[in-house]
Amino acid sequence: MRHGETDLNRAGVWQGQLDAPLSREGRAQATRLARRLARGSVAFDRLYASDLARARDTARILGEGLGLRVQEDSRLRELCVGELSGRPREEVFTAYAEVLARTRADPWNTRLPGGESLSDLRRRLLDFLAGLPPGRHLVVTHAGVIRVAIWLALGLTDGQPWRIRLANTSLTRVTFPEAPNAWTGEAGPVGDAAHLER
């Protein structure tokens, strides 16, 4: 699942690996999701989270509701956006227009200035996934990581994963390593945020 909202999300600031805390709304989103999961029939074996505050704190709220201890892992961090971190969207689109054009043309191999490429993120995510024990795990991470996980599940190696929109605290179910079955009926939704509906 994606972490809860931060004030920087709301303000349209590129976060990357900037360690922003949850906003008040982000904590409320995580609480609503915790209630939803606690009422459901699915039991989780383990709870993992990125070690960045917004994911870690979202996971702690879930862990309290589900009786699970959070296991932090830095491999679940968001894409490192380097120099773009902490900058408003408008500034990034203006000051880094050439870099963004290269990224759109080749998102998997183009590194952001001082940051990572999607291939870098894919390598660390695969390393994390390969070490998971069998079972059903709840993983609290970031939109970029989830998009790459979807690409892995679909067996894709190129394309534009940024087109996938994921709400804060949305759930995406991925079966690993059985990629061909990832999107059959049981494997379920991408970006499910029903708990946020009012």
Domain map (residue ranges) of the chain? 7-192
Higher pLDDT, 155 or 181: 155
- Would you list the DSSP string of 35-72? HHHHHSS---SEEEE-SSHHHHHHHHHHHHHHT--EEE
User: What tens digit of pLDDT does each residue of 81-114 get?
Assistant: 999 999 999 999 999 999 999 999 998 999 999 9
The mean pLDDT of the chain is 91
Is it the case that residue 180 has pLDDT exceeding 50?
no
Query: CATH 2.30.110.10: does it fit domain 7-192?
Result: no
Strands 46-49 and 137-140: parallel
Predicted local confidence at residue 155, as pLDDT: 80
Is there a catalytic annotation at residue 3?
yes
Catalytic residue, candidates 3, 116, 142, 195:
3
> Residue 183: pLDDT above 50?
no
Of the candidates 5, 78, 142, 195, the residue annotated as catalytic is 78
Give the mean model confidence (pLDDT) for residues 64-69. 96
pLDDT tens-digit series, residues 43-59: 999 999 999 999 999 99
d(CA 186, CA 134): 17
Give the model confidence (pLDDT) of 113-171 as tens digits. 999 999 999 999 999 999 999 999 999 999 999 999 988 888 887 788 888 889 999 99
Task: Please indicate whether residue 195 is annotated as part of the active site.
Answer: no
pLDDT the model gives residue 65: 94
Planar angle of CA 74, 75, 80, nearest 5 degrees: 85
Residues of the chain with pLDDT > 70, as a percent, come to 93
**Helices and strands (H and E) in the chain: how many:** 7, 3
